[in-house]
């Protein structure tokens, strides 16, 4: 996640308020599929391993991460959206690419619309000044955690075959260098008349918050996505975080690139609340600091929401 410079090396004392609860909590659809902690841990552990050296855009570590994610798509019958899974970005001097797959919708009409589920797999690589001999910014929370969640949702849809709309799964590169991967892909898809319904971007969900909601949604007031998610899950799953508005987080992750081009609901969900994690862009952002149980719960709780996003007969999620 791209955060303001003033966050680096400090621990803000955020003043937070409770989430507004949707006026009507509907009974959610029953999801029989169960997300497995062991599989969440396997993906997260590899993506945040020292072997990948912090996944900096254009490096061998980034390449290894892309190889892993491409194979994940293949293993789970997620098709490449383009001629291959690799979407080479054109706004970066080196060799870098988004990893893009999709599952076609089952409805002959609704399949022409797309839900995008995304997260960025790049991070900031090696530190100039190490801490206790550690120079690798592993980026477990930022954003191997979100990448893992996207992967698990792709696996879910490949098994359940429950999407009437088509679902595009994107692992963005170059987020840490200025949203480069998402800027490239949004413009590319727009030129191809891509019919985007909404984007659900997942950013830093590795540790839980101590709130009366599970996660917060950036740009909460810009659409009714938060309200609809809570209706779909039947819980107070997402809420408004004042610090997210204060630091303009809506504009600092890959959702904004798509909103800027398509002007439809494109928002990020996160559980990093400025109080629960001290290691933003730090070598201690490692696998051992992540709460796998929480991540598994987050993914499981969001399954009814993304399922309904992919199946509602009308475009229920709208800009305010």
- pLDDT tens digits, one per residue of 24-35: 445 788 999 999
Segment 41-57 shows an average pLDDT of: 98
The predicted-structure confidence for 59-98, as pLDDT tens digits, reads as follows 999 999 999 999 999 999 999 999 999 999 999 999 999 9
Q: What is the pLDDT of residue 3?
A: 63
Q: What is the pLDDT of residue 1?
A: 73
Q: How many domains does the chain have?
A: 1
Provide the CATH number for the domain around residue 202.
3.40.630.10
* Full-model pTM: 0.93
Average pLDDT on 131-158 reads 97
Query: Mean per-residue pLDDT for 99-114?
Result: 98
pLDDT tens-digit map of 157-195 = 999 998 999 999 999 999 999 999 999 999 999 999 999
Q: Is residue 293 part of a domain?
A: yes
The answer to the question of residue 8 being in a domain is no
Which residue range forms the structural domain that includes residue 66? 22-309
pLDDT tens digit string along 210-248?
A: 999 999 999 999 999 999 999 999 999 999 999 999 999
Q: Is residue 12 a part of any domain in this protein?
A: no
The reply to whether 4 falls in a domain is no
Average pLDDT of the chain, as a whole number: 93
Average pLDDT (143-147) is: 98
* 20 has a pLDDT exceeding 60: no
168 assigned to some structural domain: yes
Res 23 pLDDT > 50: no
Structure tokens at 223: 């659409």
How many Cα atoms are found within 13 Å in the side-chain-facing hemisphere of 110? 19
Helix (H) or strand (E) segment spanning residue 100 = strand 97-103
How many Cβ atoms from other residues are within 10 Å of residue 228's Cβ?
22
Q: Does a structural domain hold residue 227?
A: yes
Q: 291-301, pLDDT tens digit by residue?
A: 999 999 999 99
In a domain, residue 296? The reply is yes
More confident site: 15 or 58? 58
Mean pLDDT of 263-285: 96
Using the predicted structure, report yes or no on whether residue 19 has a pLDDT greater than 50: no
What pLDDT, on a 0 to 100 scale, did the predictor assign at position 273? 96
H helical segments located in the chain: 37-47, 60-75, 146-160, 180-191, 225-233, 242-246, 254-262, 292-309
In 3D, which of 256, 316, 281 has the Cα closest to residue 123? 281
Integer Cα distance of 171 and 176 in angstroms: 13
Residue 317 lies in a domain: no
């Amino acid at each position: 996640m791209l955060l303001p410079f003033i966050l680096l090396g400090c621990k803000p004392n955020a003043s937070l308020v409770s989430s507004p609860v949707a006026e009507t909590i509907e009974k959610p659809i029953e999801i029989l599929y169960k997300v497995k902690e062991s599989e969440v841990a396997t993906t997260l552990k590899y993506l945040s391993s020292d072997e990948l050296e912090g996944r900096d855009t254009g490096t061998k570590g980034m390449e290894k991460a892309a190889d892993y994610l491409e194979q994940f798509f293949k293993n789970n019958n997620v098709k490449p959206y383009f001629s291959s899974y690799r979407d080479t970005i054109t706004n970066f001097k080196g060799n870098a690419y988004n990893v893009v797959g999709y599952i076609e919708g089952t409805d002959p009409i609704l399949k022409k619309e797309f839900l995008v589920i995304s997260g960025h797999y790049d991070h900031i690589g090696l530190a100039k000044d190490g801490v206790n001999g550690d120079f690798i910014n592993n980026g477990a929370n930022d954003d191997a955690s979100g990448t893992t969640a996207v992967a698990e949702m792709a696996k879910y849809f490949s098994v359940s075959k429950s999407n009437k709309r088509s679902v595009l799964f994107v692992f963005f590169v170059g987020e840490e260098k200025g949203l480069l991967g998402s800027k490239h892909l949004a413009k590319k898809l727009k030129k191809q008349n891509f019919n985007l319904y909404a984007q659900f971007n997942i950013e830093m969900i590795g540790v839980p918050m101590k709130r009366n909601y599970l996660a917060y949604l950036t740009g909460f007031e810009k659409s009714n996505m938060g309200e609809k998610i809570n209706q779909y899950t039947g819980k107070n799953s997402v809420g408004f975080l004042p610090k997210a508005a204060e630091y303009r987080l809506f504009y600092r992750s890959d959702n904004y690139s798509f909103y800027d081009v398509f002007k439809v609901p494109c928002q990020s969900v996160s559980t990093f609340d400025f109080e629960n994690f001290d290691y933003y862009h730090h070598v201690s952002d490692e696998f051992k600091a992540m709460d796998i149980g929480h991540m598994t719960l987050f993914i499981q709780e969001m399954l009814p929401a993304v399922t309904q996003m992919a199946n509602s007969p009308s475009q229920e999620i709208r800009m305010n």
